[in-house]
Amino acid sequence: MLGAPWLHLIALMAAGVAVRLACRRHLRAGPLAIALLGAGALGVLASQPGRARDSFVLVAELSPESTTFADLAIAPSVGYTYQVRAFNDAGESSSSNWAGVRTEPESCLPAAPVDLQTAATADSISLTWSAGAAEPVCPVASYVILRAVGSEELLPIGSVSGSELAYADGGKPSSTTYRYRVDASGSGGVTQGPEVQVSTLAGACTLGAPAEPSGAALGPASVELTWNGGAASADACQIVGFRIYRDPPGLAGAALAVVSGSLTSFVDTSVLSGETYAYAITAYTETAESERSTTVTVVPAPLPTLTPTPTVPTPTPTPTATATPTPTWSATPVPSGTATPTSTPTATPTPTDVPLCKPMAPKALEAHINTKSQVQLSWHEHASDPCQETSFRVYRREQGGSFSSLAETRTDERDYLDKSVRPGSTYQYRVTAQGTGGESGPGSIVGVRLPKEARIVSVPGNVQWTDTGIDIDTADVLAITYREGLVNFHVPSSEANVNASGYPRNQYWQEWLQDSYSCTDPFDGSGEGHAGLMAQIGGSTFYVGRNRTVTRESGRLRLGVNDCTLTGQFGNGGGFTVSVSFD
């Protein structure tokens, strides 16, 4: 007597493409017959309310070793009931248990989330929401979180699985306004969710004195001060500017000058050569002023002493005696007219020395990125500088390095284009002036960080990991975005195609994989679709889906397909095209 098989049913595709069956038998004694209830070749329970339960049609016969069956001849939005019988030469077994499923509509958009709520601290925003309701019921594969600063465009920053209803966005500056939106993503596409605006709270302000102040005499009538403007908790404190104090007239008195919070240098042109001056600097906000920095003492260079060039006396030539001829006496008429004038010699001017003088460092230095491979610098000279510049010298250093001379320009050139930079690198610049007395002191420092370029990567569907050739640093913000392409995760079926979100899982999916292929996908959570996009950086592996932003990771980036059956009889075809950008 053949035992009846026990039937376990799974609906594979969400758009009415296929129904997949998995079953276990009491006895493997012969071929299996799989029967389908319905009218004609396909039966519809919902449209045949009076049909008897034992009215089945045969849809397939399988070998004794088979334990699964995929029914591709079905329609969307239709309910089906299946049972399995085992048979041999002696006859058929009794029927298995009943198992039913209803296929999903052709286009099944998930319901948008509702009741989006926020909670803010000085450096983070927390979002919570509730699952929406819609007819027909379409599963939510994931929730996509989008963010914008102020009125800027909303861009994806992360996602969570369809079972998660919260997201935390940390590492944000205080007192900053953001807009958020949460969208629902499913097999039929994305449904836009609600939008909300929220601001981080004002952080605690611990205002510190400017660090590393230094001073240098630029000449006999000017002193340049520089400092590190990064006072403690600058984001929370919102520094307005810096105050410079000088002695004389006294550090305890009023400030000598006030400069903007964006500056880190000041030139004092009210000094006298040879005098000693002490300086201190404070940072201030709208409500408070920091302690004073350490004191810097500077002595402007004394005026050069001009030594006159001695005049060498011109020797008076000795007259040579000449024989006087004996005059011949004759009557000489007395001339009438004016006496002949005597010429006066012109004095030769005495040459003087040109004083040696160091010019002031250029002011208002700025750096802008023209393209991803060029940095444009510009600056101004000091109109009140008594010393004449002969040229300008540009210095550059990379992050963590030392300044080195990059170029020298003429005095009529007050800009420079640096074409020798690399994408993704950080550079700092300063410019000095050259004069007859040498080079000026160090000018103010400006910095730029060049963004790294986005790259397009092809990810084959039948390869576990594809090396992108991209190395990621912990300081990089990495954005992985699906662009196009489909993976066919069951090559014999031309219908089993999915995008980077993969096929949404249900309560039967992982057990079916284990029964059919004896394997488990690398990621098998409810929001981590089968054959979806995943990534690996160094030793860290994570699920991506359609898009994901990653920070604080380092190592080589690899992309792959979340599938444990990449090759073989039921292997994969197709692939994804993915954009990888990092900054």
Cα-based angle 226, 425, 174 (whole degrees, multiple of 5): 65
What is the spatial distance between Cα 562 and Cα 185, in angstroms, rounded to a whole number?
18
Which mean pLDDT values do the consecutive 10-residue runs of the chain (583 residues) have?
A: 51 42 41 38 30 63 79 74 80 77 72 91 89 78 91 89 91 86 87 90 77 83 79 59 83 78 81 85 84 89 53 57 54 51 55 67 82 78 80 88 90 89 84 88 78 80 89 80 84 68 66 63 82 90 87 87 82 87 72
Cα-based angle 114, 118, 121 (whole degrees, multiple of 5): 170
Q: Name, in order, each residue with C-beta under 8 angstroms of 312's C-beta and a sequence gap of 6 or more.
A: none
Do residues 378 and 413 make contact, with C-beta atoms less than 8 angstroms apart? Answer: no
What is the structure's pLDDT at 37?
38
What is the structure's pLDDT at 465?
93
Q: Identify the H or E element spanning 557.
A: strand 555-561
The phi, psi pair for 514, rounded to 5°, reads -65, -40
DSSP per-residue string spanning 359-392: PPPPEEEEEEEEETTEEEEEEE--TT-SSPEEEE
Do residues 159 and 548 make contact, with C-beta atoms less than 8 angstroms apart? Answer: yes
Q: Name, in order, each residue with C-beta under 8 angstroms of 254's C-beta and a sequence gap of 6 or more.
A: none
Q: Identify the H or E element spanning 492.
A: none
Cα-based angle 340, 344, 346 (whole degrees, multiple of 5): 150
Q: How many residues does the chain have?
A: 583
Q: Name, in order, each residue with C-beta under 8 angstroms of 133's C-beta and a sequence gap of 6 or more.
A: 111
What is the spatial distance between Cα 219 and Cα 507, in angstroms, rounded to a whole number?
81
Q: Identify the H or E element spanning 89.
A: none
What is the structure's pLDDT at 104?
65
**CA-CA-CA-CA dihedral for 253, 259, 262, 268, to nearest 10:** -100
The residues that bridge with 575 in the sheet, in sequence order, are 460
The residues that bridge with 197 in the sheet, in sequence order, are 179
Half-sphere exposure of 276 (CA within 13 A, CB side): 3
Do residues 571 and 462 make contact, with C-beta atoms less than 8 angstroms apart? Answer: yes
Q: Identify the H or E element spanning 481.
A: strand 477-484
